[in-house]
Amino acid sequence: MLQVQFLRDEKERVLNGLKKKNFSPISLVDDAISTDDSRKKIQFDLDENLAKMNALSKEIGELMKAGKKDEANEAKVATSKYKEEIEKQKEELKKAEAELQDILYTIPNIPNEKVPNGLTPEENEIIFQSHEVKGLGEGNIPHWELAKKYNLIDFELGVKIAGAGFPVYFGKGARLQRALVQYFLDKNVDAGYLEVNPPHVINEASGYGTGQLPDKEGQMYYINEDKLFLIPTAEVPITNLYRDVLLEEKDLPIKNTAFTQCYRREAGSYGAHVRGLNRLHQFEKVEIVRLEKAENSYAVLEEMVDHVKSILEDLELPYRILRLCGGDMGFASAMTYDFEVWSAAQEKWLEVSSVSNFETFQSTRLKCRYKAEGKNQLVHTLNGSAMALPRIMAALLENNQTEDGIKLPKIIADYAKFEMIG
C-alpha cells in the first residue's frame, strides 16, 4: 500500500507510475489526498474540543473548591455539550479513516523506473535466453499424451474426483514430483534460506497484508463457514509471519523457503493454452521470500534471479528471462522478472517462475518494520518461485523424450532414483 504522504510528496511520480501500469482511474490519488485532508480537519477539530473539555474539567474542580457551585454547574453543562460533539467527531474520524484506507487499498504499487513501458506480454523485455529453440519435430508428442502413454498423470480421473485442473499423479509421475520438490528445497536451503511449513489457509487480514485482497479475491477459493481462503502461493502465509512485527536491524536479512500446495480458481481460463499441466487449480510450488533493507533490495532481486537461473541450468531446460513491462506487472510489484521454459512439443514458452520486489508496498500493509539507529523503518519484501512444478514437469517430459522413453537430467535422476521413464 502506498502511504498518503508519499502520494502528496511524489504525486507526479505516482501518476506517471500508475499510467505506466495502465491503471485507471488515477483520480483515486486525488480522492485519497482530499479524504486525508478531511480526516486531518476532523482530527484537528476533535483535538481542539478535547483540549477545551479538559480545560473545562480542570476549571470545574477549581470552581468547586472555591465554593462557586452555580458556575461549576454551568461549566458541567458546557462539558456535556463538548462530550456529545467529541463522540460525533470520533465517529466521523473513524469513517474518514476507513474511507481513506479503502481508497489506498485499491491503488497499486508504482513500478521502478527501470521497468519498461508497455501494456501487453508481447512488450516485455527479454533480457536473457539460454538456447536457440525449435520444435521437436514429427513423432514427438505433448506432455498430456506422454503422461497417458507412461501412466504418469491422469487428468480425467481428477475431473471425476474434483473437476478440471486437479490431476492425479501415479507411479513415476508422483515420484518425479516429489523429487523436484526435494531438489528445489535443498537448493534453496543450501543458498541460506530457512525452510518453513506454513498453513495452507489464510484469514482476511493476511490476504490484505500481501495485496491479494482486494485485488485477487475472485481468484482465490473461499471457505465461507470459517472465513478463510486457500492460499494461492506460499508467499502469502510466509510474509504474514512478520505482520505487526518490529524487527531488530541484526535480524535482517530474513530468507525463508517453503513447499506448499497452491490453489487458484483461474476463473475464465479455458482453451488449448490451459490443456494438461499448462494451468491448474491445484499445484505444487516451492517459494522463496526475503525481507531486506531498502538499500539492499534491488541487488538482492538480481541475486534471486541468479538463484532461479541456476535451478533451470541444473534442469538442463531451455529458458529465458523477461523483465515485465508496466502493463503486465502484478498489483503489488515494483519490478518483476518472469522465467519461461521452452515447451518443445507445444512450441511455445511456459512461465515457471516470477521473482518480484515489492519495496515497501506489502510492509506498509503488514506494519513490518525494523529498528535502526533508534528509528523504525519499513522493510522491503521480495519473493520468487523456486519453483512452480506443473510447467517444469511438462517441459521435462516434452524436451527429454527419446525413442526409448523420457530420459531425466542427472540432477533429478539422482533425486528420483530412476533415469528413464519408459
Residues 98 and 92: their CA atoms lie apart, in Å, by 10
Handedness of CA 247, 251, 253, 259 (dihedral sign): negative
Residues 356 and 210: their CA atoms lie apart, in Å, by 13
Q: How far is CA 193 from CA 231, 290, 304, 369, 381, in A?
A: 21, 9, 11, 20, 15
Residue 222: partners with Cβ closer than 8 Å, 6 or more residues away? 228, 229, 230
**Residue 108 preceded by cis peptide, ω within 30:** no
Q: Which helix (H) or strand (E) holds 194?
A: strand 194-195
Of the candidates 329, 320, 316, 325, which has an alpha carbon nearest to the alpha carbon of residue 400?
316
Question: Which phi and psi (to 5°) does residue 195 adopt?
Answer: -75, 135
Report helix, strand and coil shares of the chain as percent, to nearest 5: 50, 20, 30
Grid cell in block for residue 156 = 480425467
Q: Please give the single-letter amino acid code of residue 53.
A: M
Residue 210 labeled ligand binder: no
Residue 174: partners with Cβ closer than 8 Å, 6 or more residues away? none
Residue 264 labeled ligand binder: yes
Contact call for residues 351 and 391 (beta carbons, < 8 A): yes
SS3 81: helix
Residue 245 labeled ligand binder: no
Q: Please measure the distance between the N-terminal and C-terminal CA atoms of the chain and give it in whole angstroms.
A: 51
Residues 191 and 385: their CA atoms lie apart, in Å, by 14
Question: Which phi and psi (to 5°) does residue 2 adopt?
Answer: -80, 140
Residue 39 labeled ligand binder: no
**Bridge partners (DSSP) listed for residue 383:** 289, 356
Residue 351 labeled ligand binder: yes
SS3 346: coil
Burial class (CB in 10 A: 0-12, 13-18, 19+), 259: buried
Residues flagged as binding site for L-serine = 233, 264, 287, 383
Residues in the annotated binding site for ATP: 264-266, 351-354
Binding residues, as ranges, are: 233, 264-266, 287, 351-354, 383
